[in-house]
Amino acid sequence: MAQPPLVDPWDPCNTKVYQTKGVHLFYVACPALGEGEYIASEDQAFDVCYAMHEESGSYAYIRDAHGNIHGEYGDVVEGIADLLF
């Protein structure tokens, strides 16, 4: 069975994350690094998010399968302000 295409992680209107064989995918991203990835394990998602935060010194977050923020490290206001100014 073909996997559905992954959604654009940078689209602010997008809240859909696909499930694969009943496994929830967590999307972990750090805007300062311009990186993001889908991870099936909640524990691993937090580890990767923390590593991204430590590497960049900026905001990193985890979205759950419904598009909600599941976890985050750093200050979102400072992280986004760094990207804008």
DSSP string computed for the chain = -PPPPPP-TT-TT------BTTBPPEEEEETTTTEEEEES-HHHHHHHHHHHHHHHSS-EEEE-TTS-EEEEES-HHHHHHHHH-
- Rounded to two decimals, the pTM is 0.71
Per-residue confidence in pLDDT tens, the chain, 85 aa: 444 445 555 554 454 545 555 667 899 999 889 899 999 888 999 999 999 999 999 999 999 878 889 999 998 888 777 777 6
Identify the pLDDT of residue 4: 47
Q: What are phi and psi of 52, to 5 degrees?
A: -65, -40
pLDDT at 8: 53
